Structure 1
């Protein structure tokens, strides 16, 4: 039962193989088994690749099954259409486009399986890429908020400097009127005279301005600090909102690109393995000598071709004979007076009818 199934998978003529040796049947069963297991590997590879895309097991299995059946049909077609002619060059020319197609299929099958085989290494590469993307993302978002935050910090610094300058002026006036009272500067008269009072009034007025400036600037600083906190909060929110996009950076294309960053030699050997599997049925047919199955298949096809050519030639001969007979018949009829007089009579009647119709038409026109 299993042997018959693999023979069907090989695309060979089962009726012809039934009359061949057991060894011949086993050969085509082996070719069919290779076709079947290649399609099975294609199903597994496609299911895994599609799972990384859709993230749904049933959807991946469904489309993976369709892809596996497609590969099975292509491989079966490739193997079944290679005919043994006994001429190596003709067979190579015949098989070259099929070998090219087999190479393409091997690449398509091998790549998803490489992604699964090197999954841990690919995850490490993706982790490094995600970390770099996270840092780059934070820097890009920070560039949107940093100018505004820096301007607010500069504004706070300017407000604080205003207070410091005003405090320095107040302290200078304080030292001045104290020195005046002590007699160490100014008029150098000990006691609180008119000059002392004048300087004390200037100090008190400037101190009141300082107190008012502190109140106003403190309110402005508080407002600027609130804006800075709001901007930093917006920055954190935007970082949090964009992080899931980076976390999901593990799709099919990302994994393929990550695989390209790994050493190429292991992937190349895996590709060679699947290339050998995919091309083995073709190579088996090319390298094997022309067997009884090939002779019987050629005999059957030649018989059909001969029969078609005979039928075609017979129809052409019948048509040619029919043309000759018709020519002879019409040549004999051409000289008969009876047929001539009959056609002459009918032609006369037709011309009379045409003349009457033309006359009637012209009469109705006036």
Structure 2
């Protein structure tokens, strides 16, 4: 069984070589994309933090501009009589409201100057990060996948994607299993021939010789045991006779 698998796989790789090469190219692109993603992930946190800081600065500018616009609108309404006292007269109240609007305009200009400078710095930092990220990605090399393990993986992926390829692989494997096991199957279903009878005869002779040798060995051991028992018996009788003579 294992021999069939070992022999079948190289044949499968050869049969589907064209499809495997295409799948290997796709696997190389996927590996390259994963490497790019790993590099991009290294810059995500820094870029997100800078973008958030820029958004906060721009929102401060917008909120200050909205307050300036509101104060300017109130001053204008006081001047044309559409709001405030309802009188069309740029009097002292208008002057106060106009001064408030002008003060807010000055604050806005100062805030914008400071925030825009910070925004420019942070945008430059973002550009530097983007350049670093792009440089690292440019330094990446498309790793060639052409080894046996990669080809086996590509074949496995193709088998999962295509039912036809899966069945083709199965049939190739079954073919080699049949070739490997056919002598055994033929032997099991065929009748005995002269060789089988001769082999059976040799086996029987060998088994008979084994039992003959075993019986001879057993008989020899038995004789030795009996001889030893006889010597022990004679020795005991001799000792007893000696004692009787002494008395």
Tell whether the structures are fold-level matches, with TM greater than 0.5: yes
**Cα 1:141–1:337, aligned 2, differ >3 Å: closer, same or farther?**
closer
Post-superposition shift, 1:160?
A: 2.2
Deviations 1:187-237 (CA, angstroms, capped at 9, x unpaired): 7568xx877776665555433322221121112212332443455456556
Q: CA RMSD in A?
A: 4.4
- State the match for 1:304 in structure 2: 206
**Cα 1:179–1:284, aligned 2, differ >3 Å: closer, same or farther?**
closer
Post-superposition shift, 1:304?
A: 3.0
The answer as to whether partners of 2:71 and 2:97 remain within 8 angstroms in 1 is: yes
Aligned length: 236
In structure 2, what is the Cα distance between the partners aligned to 1:247 and 1:155?
43
In structure 2, what is the Cα distance between the partners aligned to 1:165 and 1:332?
131
- State the match for 2:236 in structure 1: 334
Query: TM-score, normalized by length of structure 2?
Result: 0.67
The answer as to whether partners of 1:107 and 1:271 remain within 8 angstroms in 2 is: yes
Deviations 1:310-339 (CA, angstroms, capped at 9, x unpaired): 222111111112222222233233222587
Matched, 1:107 2:9: no
Q: Of 237, 258, 265, which aligns to 2:157?
A: 258
Q: Of 180, 186, 197, which aligns to 1:278?
A: 180
Determine which structure has greater relative contact order: mean sequence separation of CA pairs < 8 Å that are 6+ residues apart, divided by chain length.
2
Which stretch of the first structure deviates more once superposed, 322-331 or 140-149? 140-149
Q: Of 218, 221, 230, which aligns to 2:116?
A: 218
**Cα 1:213–1:318, aligned 2, differ >3 Å: closer, same or farther?**
same
Post-superposition shift, 1:152?
A: 3.8
| 1:74-113 alignment runs, 5 A limit | 103-113=1-11
In structure 1, what is the Cα distance between the partners aligned to 2:239 and 2:89?
171
Q: Of 215, 224, 231, which aligns to 1:322?
A: 224
| 1:82-231 alignment runs, 5 A limit | 103-125=1-23, 149-150=47-48, 152-170=50-68, 184=80, 188=88, 202-231=100-129
Query: TM-score, normalized by length of structure 1?
Result: 0.49
The answer as to whether partners of 1:173 and 1:199 remain within 8 angstroms in 2 is: yes
The answer as to whether partners of 2:39 and 2:133 remain within 8 angstroms in 1 is: yes
Unaligned runs of 5+ in 2: none
**Cα 1:207–1:322, aligned 2, differ >3 Å: closer, same or farther?**
same
